[in-house]
């Protein structure tokens, strides 16, 4: 069980346990679970004839939300095809025809801002740097209530699920006017509504003007972690220590925005790593952004990697948003706004990658798709495709304190099936045809639509979820 689950007393199923539904009455005798829209989230027993990254074609058996076996697929006599009905599957078991699909570990999003998501059209900041984005958001935030935040956050979370993401950590603001916890309450509602489809962690953004009691109330209201951005506070070091003091008092982890700038001497990395280095193993400590490290020389980057690794701090790089916000003052050799990901990995640092903001004042674009993040890591961080995919899957889950997932026996059956022949196809093409499993249940299935421009009708080719004889 992950760290946050131990703190809340709930969470992801242990191997062999049945994945919980959103409430005690959600499970049905046929293995389906209810969703808010009245449709079913269906339990899967087997994925037959699916491809793996190593080139094998296999059957993946699932029990209790966990992968229990991965075996070579049975080939029909006299045919090059794969038998998707035979093998050890019991009569009436739910079998996905995985032919033509690639089975991948489902992505995780380790750094989102669901309370801000999809607000670009209502904000449209006059400038495009970090300061202008902050000002635009704060001006807009005073006009919105809990229901408005909830609606946008729910829509953004569902987009993430549809693209293949089964776990999200979102930051959420406190508010100085009106109900200061309205964003937290909105995100807790989203977590409850999507409990059968998504693991949602909430980090509360505590600003330097927020009193400690407001942060305590946020944790009591359902937030999981203390967050914040001390590098924009008047006294960076003092604010870093204050937030870590709060986390220690409340017995929770921290996920801080760290040094989201490219120059200056007001960094908080050393204060952060020094404070959490003595924390017990498994307690979450995450540093988001870390753009300043990318502007250091090789000696400075190596020292930062040593400090982060020694303190067991996970780093989250956020290419789409930081490529958009950072480096705007430089007209020559414009910096990328990313930490030196390869150097951090080589230095033993746990690194994940996310999208950060999506279609809000901090980033007007974004597809809520981890494949987009992986593509940007290949292009902007100069990573190979395998490493880029690791950062949005296993690396992201490790940063979030979640159990390992993927098409491997003993791992949680959080899987993304994509119609592709290899990872290069996935990252280059971002195929539309996808089936998403969380803890062995189908939570989303999408297929491309073929349109005849001279007719009003369209035909779809949905994935085949069939009953085995």
Across residues 369-376, what is the average pLDDT?
98
pLDDT of residue 19: 34
Identify the band that residue 91 occupies on the pLDDT scale cut at 50, 70 and 90: low
Across residues 133-161, what is the average pLDDT?
95
Q: Is the pLDDT of residue 377 over 60?
A: yes
Query: Do 220 and 252 touch, CB atoms closer than 8 A?
Result: no
Identify the band that residue 85 occupies on the pLDDT scale cut at 50, 70 and 90: low
Q: Is the pLDDT of residue 164 over 70?
A: yes
Across residues 216-229, what is the average pLDDT?
98
Q: Which residue has the higher pLDDT, 95 or 129?
A: 95
Radius of gyration of the chain (CA): 22
pLDDT of residue 354: 98
* Percentage of the chain lying above the pLDDT 70 cut: 84
Residues 6+ apart with CB under 8 A from 80: none
Q: Is the pLDDT of residue 442 over 90?
A: yes
pLDDT of residue 76: 60
Query: Hey, how many other C-beta atoms are within 10 angstroms of the C-beta on 232?
Result: 18
Identify the band that residue 23 occupies on the pLDDT scale cut at 50, 70 and 90: very low
- Compute CA 234 distance to the chain's CA centroid, rounded to the nearest angstrom: 31
Q: Is the pLDDT of residue 311 over 70?
A: yes
Q: Is the pLDDT of residue 456 over 90?
A: no
Query: CA dist 424 to 52, 283, 378, 465, Å?
Result: 13, 35, 11, 26
Across residues 182-210, what is the average pLDDT?
97
Q: Is the pLDDT of residue 16 over 90?
A: no
Identify the band that residue 349 occupies on the pLDDT scale cut at 50, 70 and 90: very high
pLDDT of residue 61: 98
Q: Which residue has the higher pLDDT, 47 or 87?
A: 47
pLDDT of residue 93: 76
The pLDDT tens digits of the residues spanning 234-279 come to 999 999 999 999 999 999 999 999 998 898 777 899 999 999 999 9
Query: Hey, how many other C-beta atoms are within 10 angstroms of the C-beta on 249?
Result: 13
Q: Which residue has the higher pLDDT, 207 or 453?
A: 207
pLDDT of residue 81: 65
Q: Which residue has the higher pLDDT, 458 or 355?
A: 355
Query: 């069939």: which residue's tokens?
Result: 466
Across residues 426-434, what is the average pLDDT?
97
């Amino acid at each position: 069980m992950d760290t946050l689950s131990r703190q809340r007393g709930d969470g992801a199923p242990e191997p062999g346990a049945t994945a919980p539904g959103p409430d005690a009455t959600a499970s049905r005798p046929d293995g389906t679970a209810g969703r808010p829209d009245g449709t079913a989230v269906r339990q899967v027993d087997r994925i037959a004839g699916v491809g793996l990254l190593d080139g094998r074609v296999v059957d993946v058996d699932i029990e209790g939300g966990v992968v229990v076996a991965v075996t070579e697929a049975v080939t029909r006599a006299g045919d090059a095809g794969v038998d998707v009905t035979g093998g050890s599957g019991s009569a009436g078991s739910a079998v996905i025809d995985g032919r033509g699909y690639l089975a991948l570990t489902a992505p995780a999003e380790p750094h989102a801002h669901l309370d801000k998501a999809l607000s670009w059209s209502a904000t449209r900041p006059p400038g495009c740097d970090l300061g202008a984005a902050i000002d635009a958001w704060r001006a807009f935030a005073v006009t919105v209530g809990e229901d408005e935040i909830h609606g946008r956050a729910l829509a953004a979370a569902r987009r993430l699920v549809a693209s293949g993401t089964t776990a999200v950590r979102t930051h959420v603001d406190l508010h100085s006017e009106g109900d200061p916890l309205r964003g937290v309450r909105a995100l807790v509602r989203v977590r409850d509504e999507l409990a059968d489809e998504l693991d949602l962690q909430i980090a509360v953004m505590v600003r330097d003007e927020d009193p400690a009691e407001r942060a305590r109330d946020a944790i009591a209201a359902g937030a999981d972690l203390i967050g914040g951005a001390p590098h924009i506070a008047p006294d960076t070091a003092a604010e870093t220590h204050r937030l870590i003091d709060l986390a220690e008092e409340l017995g929770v982890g921290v996920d801080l925005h760290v040094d989201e700038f490219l120059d200056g001497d007001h960094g908080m990395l050393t204060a952060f790593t020094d404070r959490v280095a003595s924390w017990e193993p498994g307690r979450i400590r995450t540093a988001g952004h870390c753009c300043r490290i990318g502007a250091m020389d090789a000696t400075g980057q190596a020292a930062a990697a040593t400090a982060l690794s020694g303190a067991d701090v996970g780093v989250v790089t956020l290419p789409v948003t930081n490529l958009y916000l950072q480096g705007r003052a430089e007209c020559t050799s414009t910096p990328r706004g990313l930490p030196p990901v390869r150097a951090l990995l080589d230095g033993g640092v746990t690194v994940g990658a996310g999208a950060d903001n999506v279609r809000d004042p901090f980033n007007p674009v974004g597809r809520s798709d981890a494949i987009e993040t992986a593509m940007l890591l290949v292009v902007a961080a100069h990573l190979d495709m395998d490493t880029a995919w690791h950062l949005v899957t296993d690396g992201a889950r490790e940063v979030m304190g979640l159990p390992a997932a993927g098409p491997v026996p003993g791992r949680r059956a959080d899987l993304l099936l994509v119609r592709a022949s290899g990872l290069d196809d996935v990252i280059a093409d971002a195929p539309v045809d996808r089936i998403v499993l969380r803890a062995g249940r189908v939570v989303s299935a999408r297929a491309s639509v073929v349109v005849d421009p001279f007719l009003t009708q369209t035909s779809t080719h949905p994935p085949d979820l069939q009953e085995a004889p």
